[in-house]
Amino acid sequence: MRNLIIASTAACGLALAAAPAIAQQQQYTQLTASQQATYDAWTAENRATYDAWPMEAQTYYWTLNDSQADIWWNTLNNDQRVKIVQMMPQQRTAAWQSINSQLNGTATGTTTSTRSAGMTKINYMSNAVVQPTPGDAGPPPANLPICEPMQQDNCINRGAR
């Protein structure tokens, strides 16, 4: 009789200990047979990574095509994956297009130019040529004078004698 009570207590303890694990398993996305086969074929590291993702990321993963899934595992890190999952569907499409073009080497850099009204445009060149800037007085004379009050260019600071 005593052994029966101990065995019953142990069985209850095991059942209670297993309850959180069962509840935790229910948080994961329910996989189809083909998805389960794919999941089982993954490395232990990929399965652990997948299991650590929130349900939204797990669900989103199964919407990826083969090319995107390959990029998902081999190119993106978890931070990048999370950002994609948090995007709106249109943003995801644009993100995948950008990723594909970058990986295929067809991405074009974005150029921006800023120009204030009334300012002279400065042309940037790769050779070592000094270009005048708007309002420049030119190169300083050989013997610089001592700076007068409110003078800042083409003079020697009074304390530098």
Instruction: Name the residue among 48, 79, 46, 85 with its Cα closest to residue 63.
Output: 85
Mean pLDDT (whole number) for 97-110: 76
**pLDDT per position as a tens digit, 4-57:** 444 444 444 444 444 444 344 445 578 889 889 999 999 999 898 888 888 888
State how far the Cα of 69 lies from the Cα of 76, in Å rounded to an integer.
10
- Residue whose structure tokens are 């399965």: 47
Residues 73-100: what's their mean pLDDT? 89
119-148 residue pLDDT tens: 555 555 555 556 666 776 666 667 888 888
* Contact (CB, 8 A) for 72 and 81: yes
